[in-house]
């Protein structure tokens, strides 16, 4: 069992009520677990901003595969950086639209550059680059119980 420290914090009542309601609908068993997730989320984001070392990120892209040469351009970019793209998932959303999810892993600058480049590709309708954390960082924190 990981070391736990009990803390006490002060919050506006209305803020806490909304927080508890949201936690309930999200399925959190305890308020503590919801707060731990918030803290981890912030630390992971900050770490991703500051650490030049290995990063793991997920990029999601939604695009129209009828758009001229777009699919080929996205594939070219990923092949060009094949060392950074460790997995990809392609879903045909409907007649026209595709959803692509790729997991990127590598030095921060390169991961960010590739993620931004894919998102900025002309014809990409929606997308997001989300940094998460690698094994090293997460294993320093307590595991979920």
Footprint of Ni ion (CB under 5 A): 92, 98
When the beta carbons of 88 and 110 are compared against Ni ion, the nearer one is 88
Which of 115, 118, 132, 113 lies closest to 55, judged by CA? 132
Least distance to Ni ion from the beta carbon of 90, Å? 6
For residue 95, the tally of other CB atoms under 10 A from its CB is 8
* Token pair for 130: 């989300």
Q: How far is the CB of 45 from Ni ion (least distance, A)?
A: 30
Q: How far is the CB of 102 from Ni ion (least distance, A)?
A: 14
Tokens standing for residue 25: 């609908």
Spatial separation of the C-alpha atoms in residues 75 and 84, rounded to whole Å:
13
Q: Which of helix, strand or coil describes residue 81? A: coil
> Least CB distance from residue 60 to Ni ion, whole Å?
14
C-beta of 67 vs 138, nearer to Ni ion? 67
- CB closer to Ni ion out of 16 and 87: 87
Q: How far apart are CA 130 and CA 23, in angstroms?
A: 22
- Pick 12 or 95: Cβ nearer Ni ion: 95
Q: Report the residue closest to Ni ion, judged by CB.
A: 98
């Amino acid at each position: 069992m990981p070391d736990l420290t009990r803390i006490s914090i002060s919050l506006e009542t209305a803020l806490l009520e909304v927080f508890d309601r949201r936690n309930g609908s999200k399925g959190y068993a305890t308020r503590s677990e919801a707060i731990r997730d918030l803290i981890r989320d912030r630390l992971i984001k900050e770490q991703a901003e500051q650490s030049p070392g290995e990063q793991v990120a997920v990029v999601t892209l939604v695009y129209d595969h009828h758009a001229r040469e777009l699919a080929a351009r996205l594939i070219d970019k990923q092949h060009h950086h094949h060392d950074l793209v460790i997995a990809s998932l392609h879903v045909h959303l409907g007649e026209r639209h595709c959803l692509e999810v790729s997991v990127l892993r590598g030095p921060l600058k390169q991961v960010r550059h590739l993620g931004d480049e894919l998102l900025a590709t002309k014809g990409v309708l929606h997308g997001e680059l989300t940094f998460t954390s690698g094994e090293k960082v997460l294993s320093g924190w307590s595991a979920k119980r």
